[in-house]
Structure 1
């Protein structure tokens, strides 16, 4: 089930009886005793929640976006749902229209899994790993340049390997909180959100609108999204080149995996890469 925004706050629990309190104390004492023997982890694995809350951020095609029926679909969505189905876990799906809000939500456990083409490696991944934990990676991508079709300038001498120096004098838009923003800030001196010639917006739609209106020269965005956007709107957008970043996408959970999801998710991801499920999803979402 797809819903917009963050899930409602957890209902307040009340009416705990004295009997339940005593039983709880006994159970806690047993767990503490077994933990002292080094056996707690053997007998008491983290319990599976009754329903997993998945958060994503649309639009980011082909990984996550809303189709003509306003249903959230995409490669990430298919993959994470198959992972949870493989583990017998029920789930609900929520759409965060702000990527930074999604990452904050997984940190404070308002969502259990963030599935939104999240970069997990490099300096960006190291910083994120301080406040959340990741599955093994499931996709590798670079950054890309999206330009207006009417703008015939050559932005990169080698379109398969754009250099930062070639983009220095351009007006650039990015989605806030993404690896696209961090690449620009790290590689173009003097650029940070709000400075001259650098526009940071909350969602991809706003970045595309700014580009179409010629308010900026290019949008820096993950290459698969640039390619899909240009293919879907060839009269408006075109790809201008690849920025090689070798980013690895992973699903994110709360820091230190309090629900014990990562071992189960990683096992399913590994299985899917050998039994044809992963290849079928790649063909479904990236062919043509």
Structure 2
């Protein structure tokens, strides 16, 4: 059984690491562009504050969550519009984000056993929601780190991101309008401490191997496949690395190869 308390502790640790990175920044640096087109450092934190609020709403008032989706004037711009709406001066935004993530932890803890929470195009257990929040916090933290020219040290918390990336194999194909694969895929990743994280049948012919960090960057679409040391064996595995997407919603645009963008920061 998944330990929700441990997941929430890892979510808090991931959030605190990013908080420590942005809290000392002067206001002008919050306005610095990140690799996500049109998004500044402030937009990245505003997005996390908004998604934490939406997750809390899903855990406490499903009807209000659904109303927030159906009342959106343009669903295709839901994420961008929300980031703009939640944007605020750094001190105010930090307070909102910190309060929101604490409220989310309390809300997820209070969900009755076995209950599923509504989300965008799916339903999730509290444990899955916490895992998704870890993934989002880490991924948007990467955008912030890229904008600041900071290289973050990978932690064991990446296992949550890698596991979610593996579990969403079918979602990646479906989001791109492709038939769901029938061949199983084995994933073997080298963890930050040198251990091996493995997912999927050990005897699967299709396989993905490489660094856990690279796999996480791929499934969150923070790096192009060409810039990563991942090896795919088999047709299904190869196609998967082109459509992998650990986040809900429509397919992302991904990032251009660094060589193609002509810069050390992904386009």
Flag the structure with higher helix content. Answer: 2
TM-score (norm 1): 0.26
Based on CA coordinates, which of the two structures has the bigger radius of gyration? 1
Bigger relative CO (Cα 8 Å, ≥ 6 apart): 1
Flag the structure with higher strand content. Answer: 1
TM-score (norm 2): 0.27
